Amino acid sequence: MQKSKRIISIVIAMMIMVSMLAVAAVTTSAAASGSQVYFDNSKYNWEQVYVYAYGTKENAKWPGQLMELDGSGLYTKSFPSTYKSENIIFTNGLEKGEGKEQYPEAAGLALNSGECKMLTADLQWVDYGKPDDHGYGFAYEASGKGFSSDYLAVKLGLKNADKGYYSIDGSPKTEYANGDTIKVGEGKIANTTVTLVLTATGSDGVETTQTYTYKKSFTETKTTFSSSSDGHTTDAETGYYDTNPNLQLGKYKKITVDGNLDDWDSSMIIAQGQANDDPRVYMPSSMHEQPWDAYALYAAWDDDNLYFMWELANTTYIISPSDNFAASNEARPWRNSVPMYLALSVDPAKQATGAAVGTNKDGSTYTNPFVWGCTGGVAKDGGTSFTTHIDTLVAMDSNNSNGGASIFKADTLADDGTYMFNYDTRVPIGVINFQAQDNRNGFKIKYANGTKSTSLYGINAPKGSRVMGDNLDVNSNFADFFDLGYKADYGYIYEVAIPLSTLNIDREYIETKGIGAMQILTYGTSAMDTLPHDPSVLDNANVEYSYDPSTSHEKEDIDNITVPLARIGALLPDTTINEAPLEVNFGADKSSGQAVNTNITLSADAYHATGNVNYEFKVNGKTIQNSESSSASWTPTETGTYEISVIATDSKTSVVSTKTFSVGAAGAYVPEPTTSPIETTEPTTSVDYKLGDVDMDGTVSIVDATLIQKYSAEMCTFTDKQSELADTDKNGKIEINDATLIQKFLAEMIESL
């Protein structure tokens, strides 16, 4: 009996060992060892494809290694785990003069150990499963992408698998084939995250799961103001930029200038910028440089001082971490002495162009085109001029080491009627003792790592993928960088105190007449970023710097400020305020594609409302709830496509928002024409079309309202007859109000068009 037990024990032990070996074998085959890249050659059709990796390792001398063609028609190359963080460039292996081609043209695409990436035919750098032989589903839109349309069209792919399954926001799995495109986020309320889960099984029977998240955003219309007396010739930039958000004018409050942010709050923001919008991002080879990226400008005052605080962002940690210098605290702006300005309009009647005048020792006068960075009347590297009314420049430097820092006032009248800054009447504010950081005439400045803002919005896109103008397109991939791992101490802040006596004003002047302000960051002498944001600081961002073609010409161009300044204390007497209209962010708590009998919550967030708001929720035109509650419960009992809507009504007006919601599989994406009209010629038969029937299908529907919205956004054109039918308010113009009237008609808020 004892011997039998011993034999059984030995057998069990052997079975355990065999089992462990089998598990180990599976684990080894499944483990992602090193990294892997794929290249779709269908765009370039190169005879040979090479890949060059550099960073912690270099795979070979330029042009790198020859890639191998795999069974799926893609070129591939694997790297061992010793390649920790590399930059990848694909090339045809030829040299200049022989037809050399490569992508990207400048700095490489980021590849970290354990990643598998593919450069698609349309030059998207996407995750491509893992660097092993399992089957994977993948999306051609990178996780973290933001969108502001009702849905994001996402193309799905398969690696080493014949079919895959997708689920959106927990919906039942739906089968898809390689190359299918689906709608993600359709019908969901904005300012939420949409989760896409892809599963696939390869020939080895192992099921894998890949999760992608996308951020759906609602961009509200901003209340704006305009004053002709401030001299501006370009409207304030909007979207994610804002000048005096919510008409905030700063605040009366005593501030301790010590590099601590406790004294400040968001109600003091007078100008809002974007993160990741400095000129470097449009020249990918210059991402290694210091970021001069202004994000928010704050203002306050008390009986003695005018206070400012501004935030600088450093998103290099997220966007381009392989640029080791910029993605480190070594890139702090006080590392060296660089000019910075606060441009003020104290007396809007004075117009300074930027020129300055002074007196030589022999009594003769001299002029410079700009206050700082001129020798013998010639600017060394660009400068900043002004069309908007500015009469005072507070000129300082980034590490408070320049004893010549001063407040320059435009008090000398030039022959052309403009004013010049005067060196002779400057108020010195430079440092007396660098160690003690004491400054002249009561001026104070402190700097520190930190970020006051609790969100940091900017375009989430790797270097090499940015295009000029994308910062003004709300449909760009905007994201909150805090959601992507940004930390507050990545950023930098400056605090300054300017004695009111140095500006010849007092508290009463600020609170009754107000002043204008703009913060200007430079890299030498030319402006690199401003708050409020001026388009001139990006007009040459993608042009080469004359001293170094790898970086931006913005360092040396002349930037002319034309946008309105932010106001502090009071608006100008001739200010016209353009109030933002009542708007509503509406949708379901889940994306389209949910199962029958799933409880759906419809929600609405009203913006710019006057008084209380009533919300009437409808499904297929039938009211399911009508009250001041901003949410309603709905449980669909059948598969199909539903029309969900809300009518939001405040004390002045009503607005309607309508969306499509699919129950069952999420809707497949079908590209829509963007330039051609619905009808290219007038119909030959005489038909009495109803007003509002823009697509001329015999009925007035939500499609007609959508067509008017597309026309207003210049996404399509109309025939003469369509233009007549689209002008629902009969004012001779086709605009958003015409679409709104159709929506109100469909929601039975008005009887007829």
Least reliable range by pLDDT among 351-360, 386-395, 664-673: 664-673
pLDDT at 322: 76
CATH classification at residue 614 = 2.60.40.10
Q: Are residues 410 and 471 in the same domain?
A: yes
Q: Are residues 90 and 15 in the same domain?
A: no
pLDDT at 122: 84
pLDDT at 591: 97
| Beta carbons within 8 Å of 671's beta carbon, 6+ residues apart | 153
571 occurs within a structural domain:
no
221 occurs within a structural domain:
no
pLDDT at 248: 96
Give the tens place of pLDDT for each residue, 307-346: 999 999 999 999 888 788 999 999 999 999 999 999 999 9
575 occurs within a structural domain:
no
CATH classification at residue 679 = 1.10.1330.10
State the pLDDT confidence band at 705, using cuts at 50, 70 and 90. confident
Above 80 in pLDDT, residue 14? no
Q: Are residues 54 and 183 in the same domain?
A: yes
Above 70 in pLDDT, residue 714? no
SS3 457: strand
Give the tens place of pLDDT for each residue, 397-417: 999 999 999 999 999 999 889
Rounded Cα–Cα distance for residues 527 and 215 (Å): 33
397 occurs within a structural domain:
yes
Give the tens place of pLDDT for each residue, 598-631: 999 999 999 999 999 999 999 999 999 999 999 9
Provide the residue range defining the domain that includes 63: 35-214
Give the tens place of pLDDT for each residue, 555-588: 999 999 999 999 999 999 999 999 999 999 999 9
Residue recorded with tokens 């004012």: 731
Above 90 in pLDDT, residue 16? no
Give the tens place of pLDDT for each residue, 83-106: 988 889 999 999 888 999 999 876
pLDDT at 716: 73
Mean pLDDT of 137-148: 90
Instruction: Give the rounded percent of residues in the chain with a pLDDT score beyond 70.
Output: 92
pLDDT at 20: 41
Mean pLDDT of 233-259: 95
Among residues 537, 564, 591, the one where a domain terminates is: 564
pLDDT at 713: 59
Q: Are residues 521 and 557 in the same domain?
A: yes
Q: Are residues 255 and 282 in the same domain?
A: yes
Q: Are residues 632 and 692 in the same domain?
A: no
Instruction: Give the rounded percent of residues in the chain with a pLDDT score beyond 90.
Output: 67
Q: Are residues 339 and 480 in the same domain?
A: yes
pLDDT at 679: 39
Give the tens place of pLDDT for each residue, 179-231: 999 999 999 999 999 999 999 999 999 999 999 999 999 988 888 899 999 99
Structure tokens at 14: 């052997």
572 occurs within a structural domain:
no
Q: Are residues 378 and 472 in the same domain?
A: yes
Q: Are residues 617 and 653 in the same domain?
A: yes
pTM listed for this prediction: 0.76
State the pLDDT confidence band at 110, using cuts at 50, 70 and 90. confident
Residue recorded with tokens 């961009």: 219
Counted domains in the chain: 5
The two beta strands, 438-439 and 431-433, are: antiparallel
State the pLDDT confidence band at 687, using cuts at 50, 70 and 90. low
State the DSSP code for 257: -
Burial of 534 (0-12, 13-18, 19+ CB in 10 A): buried
SS3 548: strand
| Beta carbons within 8 Å of 380's beta carbon, 6+ residues apart | 373, 374, 524, 525
402 occurs within a structural domain:
yes
pLDDT at 286: 85
SS3 296: strand
State the pLDDT confidence band at 296, using cuts at 50, 70 and 90. very high
Q: Are residues 533 and 388 in the same domain?
A: yes
pLDDT at 152: 94
17 occurs within a structural domain:
yes
Q: Are residues 512 and 376 in the same domain?
A: yes
State the pLDDT confidence band at 352, using cuts at 50, 70 and 90. very high
SS3 23: helix
pLDDT at 680: 35
Mean pLDDT of 55-66: 93
pLDDT at 686: 46
> Helix 702-712 vs helix 736-746: angle between axes, to the nearest 10 degrees?
170
523 occurs within a structural domain:
yes
pLDDT at 746: 76
**What does the angle CA 723 – CA 724 – CA 726 come to, to the nearest 5 degrees?**
60
Mean pLDDT of 357-382: 88
Rounded Cα–Cα distance for residues 400 and 25 (Å): 62
Q: Are residues 490 and 612 in the same domain?
A: no
State phi, psi for 424 to the nearest 5 degrees. Answer: -70, -25
Average pLDDT score over the chain? 89
Which is nearest to 189 in space by CA: 602, 575, 675, 569? 602
Structure tokens at 356: 């300055």
